[in-house]
Amino acid sequence: MPVVRFRLLLATMSVLGTVSCATRSPWVPDALPDITLEERTRTSPAPPTPESIARGGELFHAACTPCHGKKGRGNGETGKLLSLRLPDLTNSKVQTQRSDGEMFYILTHGHRGMPGQGDRWPEEERWSIIQFMRTLDDR
Ligand code: HEC
């Protein structure tokens, strides 16, 4: 096979590979390159209470379910339209691989396909969303 055609074949294969990865392969976590140690190890200033979890749930259902789905399984109607896979927040592997500080960081600043929403709510409300998300774990 001539070299040029072989190169073309390789290029086509790699494009197809990228597309099928984006649409079919499962979500995989990614390093957060810019997070500081302080941000990574942060925890909520107030412990979770039934009230804070309920408030976090209200906010989650209003702002996050379109992409993340009602139960956080990553199957919201808008989320389905994204070529990027969404994490299944009910999966304990997904839950344990991120610290509260990392979740808070992602919610605040965004990460890859996840839009940052730091200016949307005060810190206390954002922590209540994290506290609610921790209750989604299926374990
Ligand atoms: C426009 C769609 C969209 C909306 C709305 C959205 N997210 Fe996301 N979210 C994503 C995508 C896509 C990812 C996966 C990013 C990646 O590839 O790492 C994600 C990832 C996350 C993660 C990281 C999970 C992990 O372990 O890496 C958290 C936490 C998160 N979202 C929380 C929220 C919260 C809380 C809200 C609502 C306030 C929200 N998201 C709203 C699309 C969305």
Looking at the DSSP bridge assignments, the partners of residue 111 are 114
Does any domain span residue 7? no
Q: What is the pLDDT of residues 73-129, one digit of tens each?
A: 999 999 888 888 899 999 988 899 999 999 999 999 999 889 999 999 999 999 999
CA of 45 to the centre of ligand 1 (A): 22
Nearest CA to ligand 1 atom 27: 29
> How many domains does the chain contain in total?
1
The answer to whether position 37 is within a domain reads yes
Whole-model pTM? 0.84
pLDDT of residue 36: 96
Range of the domain at 108: 27-134
> CATH number of the domain that 104 lies in?
1.10.760.10
State the Cα–Cα distance between residues 109 and 132, nearest whole angstrom: 19
Classify residue 26 by its DSSP letter.
Answer: P
Tokens of 78: 């808008």
Is residue 56 predicted with pLDDT exceeding 90? yes
Looking from the CA of residue 84, the nearest atom of ligand 1 is 12
What stretches of the chain show up as alpha helix (H) in DSSP? 3-24, 37-40, 50-63, 65-68, 77-81, 92-96, 100-109, 123-134
